[in-house]
Every structure is written in structure tokens, then in C-alpha cells.
Amino acid sequence: MSAMLNIAVRAARAAGRVTMRYFDRIDTVKVVSKSRNDFVTDVDRAAEIAIIQELRGKFPDHAILAEESGSHGGNEFEWIIDPLDGTTNYVHGFPQWSVSIGLRVRGRMELGVVYDPLHEELFTAERGGGAKLNDRRIRVSSRRGLEGALIGTGIPFREQHHLDRYLGMLKALIQDTAGIRRPGSAALDFAYVAAGRLDGFWELGLSPWDFAAGALLVAEAGGTVTDLSGGDRFFDTCNVVAGGLKVHRAMLERLRPFVDADLPA
């Protein structure tokens, strides 16, 4: 493991300790609404501080983009951080949430860590080095199409002007697959695609910290990650489709009829 990945893992574990400390006494945690259906707690903030302290201590010149504290300027090395992905699950005691840390250098993802402290699962990837779960190599599923596929997604929760369009997509994929899951932590959904637990995943209107690390995990596990048109502009559109090559291709085909000028790819 490279020294940088090592430090990212240490930062993720520090955040994991913060989240675990409060998970079995959630009733003591104050929940604040950032916007409609978008929540933050002191746990999110404390976990983010733990990550930034760890990274800033080693890399004082690097830039940071973090969900709760925004953008901290720096050089061309940019850490993209979600200290607690799946806060809604977390505050309900629903055991599906994670810590996500990615490093982007001159616009290209170089490393990614998604950590699920509750299940003690650490997903890591470095560009060119493959993807791992707790130090064992993982690969996307080799399924050859949508038949029998298990697909993850996220239901639009904040802005719902694309809801009908999303429901059309959902219907198309429900009809052709073995099932759809909406676990609630996008970062972890990408990690599950990387590990072959989900054959594919799509969601509209994500934020970069939801997918930065996860997208690299999928790519390094042999999968494909694109925007809705099959291009690589998902950091701009924040609409993301991921999966093994064949499942991904079939998903794009089913989603295409719902993409037009109103919904950028």
C-alpha cells in the first residue's frame, strides 16, 4: 500500500471511530436539517474534523473538498471527503453508512477509500493497483446482462423535479432485472458494485463526495463508470451509472429514453 493510501486509511479509521462512538446512543445526537430532507449531525462534523486533521497534518499544501466544511484551497492534490455517507440511515439506526475519502490529482482520481466501520469492511483502490476489500482483491461481477442482475440506486430525496423521470427509469429496470436495492449510502453502493455484490448502480443528482472514491473503486475492480450518456463527465453532471461492462451497457440503453435537454447526461 502506498504511503498516501495508508494515510487516507488512517483518516477513514479515525472518522469511523467517531461515528461508532455515537451509533448506539443516537438519541443523544442533535440532528439539523441543511435543506429539505438533507440532515447533518455533530457526528458528521466531528468525523470530518478528524479526517482533515489527519490529512492536513501530513499534507498541509493539499486542497480539500469536504461535504460539511466545503472547499479549502491548496495545490493540485485535492482530497474529496464525505465523513458520513448515509446520515439519514445513521440517525435512524439503520446499519448502512460509510466514510468516503478520495484523492483527485489534476482532475484524475488517484486513490479511494470507502470504510464501513460497523461491518469492519475497508474498501481501497489506487489507480492502476486494483481494488481491495480488507486487503483482498475484489472484482465487479461478470454478469452478461440485466437478466438476474441486482441493481442499486438512490431515490431522489432533495430536488424532486426529476422524480417522474426517475420513476420511469426505475420501472424500466425493475422489469428487466432480478431486483433493485436502495441501501442509502451511495459511496457504499459503489463499493458493493466493485465487490460484485451489486451488478450495477445508478443515481441522479449526487455530490462529488458521494462518488469520488467509489467511482475509482469500481474502475479499479474492472468496472465502468460514466454519466448517463456513457461519457466521462459525471463529475460535472453528478448523474452516475456504474457496473460491469455488459450490465453497464444494458443499463445505459434502458436509461437513454429518459435523458434529454431537461436532464443533462
Residues of this chain that bind ligand 2AM (CB under 6 A): 37-38, 67, 82, 85-88, 154, 157, 184-186, 203, 210
Site for Ca ion in 21-80 (CB under 5 A): 67
Residue 229, contacted partner among Ca ion, ligand 2AM, none, CB below 5-8 A by kind: none
Whole-number Å distance between alpha carbons of 140 and 214: 12
Q: Is 210 annotated as a binding residue?
A: yes
Whole-number Å distance between alpha carbons of 146 and 188: 21
168 to 6, 161, 165, 257: CA distances (angstroms): 43, 13, 5, 9
- First-to-last CA distance in the chain? 35
Whole-number Å distance between alpha carbons of 26 and 8: 26
Residue of 48, 54, 78, 82 interacting with Ca ion (CB under 5 A): 82
Whole-number Å distance between alpha carbons of 200 and 238: 17
Whole-number Å distance between alpha carbons of 245 and 141: 9
By C-beta, is 48 or 110 nearer to ligand 2AM?
A: 48
Q: Is 67 annotated as a binding residue?
A: yes
Report the nearest approach of Ca ion to the CB of residue 44 (Å).
6
Q: Which residues pair with 125 in a beta bridge?
A: 112, 131
**Residue of closest CB approach to ligand 2AM:** 154
By C-beta, is 184 or 223 nearer to Ca ion?
A: 184
Q: Is 61 annotated as a binding residue?
A: no
> Mapping DSSP to helix (H, G, I), strand (E, B) and coil, where does residue 202 land?
strand
State the number of CA atoms in the 13 A half-sphere of 228 facing the CB: 23
Q: Is 84 annotated as a binding residue?
A: yes
Asked if 189 interacts with Ca ion (CB under 5 A), we say: no
Cell 484523492: give the residue.
Answer: 103
Report the nearest approach of Ca ion to the CB of residue 218 (Å).
19
Asked if 210 interacts with Ca ion (CB under 5 A), we say: no
Residue 195, contacted partner among Ca ion, ligand 2AM, none, CB below 5-8 A by kind: none
Q: List the binding residues for Mg(2+).
A: 67, 82, 84-85, 210
- Binding-site residues, in ranges, read 67, 82, 84-85, 210
Residues in contact with Ca ion by CB under 5 A are 67, 82, 84-85
